[in-house]
Amino acid sequence: GNWGAAGRTCGTYEALGGSAYCAHQALAESCCFCGADGGGANPPPPVYTPPSPPLECTDASLPGNWGAAGRTCGTYEALGGSAYCAHQALAESCCFCGADGGGANPPPPVYTPPSPPLECTDASLPGNWGAAG
């Protein structure tokens, strides 16, 4: 026998029993109703790799007494580092606390990849059990 003999297609096997035929490798790899991609006839869209965020961060000016006498995020980083990140003013302004510089360094826009196509085109069915055709 031959899976594609006498004009049989994936649609033929889908109508005759559907997923039960997906146990056969030839149909599993060729037929959309089995979850195949049509034998490569419907390649997935290219994968988008978003750009890496900038490695630089600019500290924001510190509010109130935190920034008095010329103190900056660098001052607090040198005096104890992450211990100062418990204070909201520093957590929101200082790069060493993981802040984005108070919005001075907005993240890049988020890329939303297109949805894959909802259509699938069945591949031609190959021969079975060494039969000619």
pLDDT at 45: 57
pLDDT at 76: 94
- Per-residue pLDDT 10s for the chain (133 aa) are 478 888 888 888 889 888 888 888 888 888 888 887 655 555 555 666 666 655 678 888 999 999 999 999 999 999 988 889 999 999 889 988 887 654 555 555 555 666 665 677 787 877 653 344 4
- Residues facing 2 on adjacent strands: 127
Distances (CA, A) of 39 to 27, 42, 51, 63, 122: 10, 8, 32, 62, 7
For residues 80 and 41, is the Cβ–Cβ distance under 8 A?
Answer: no
For residues 4 and 125, is the Cβ–Cβ distance under 8 A?
Answer: yes
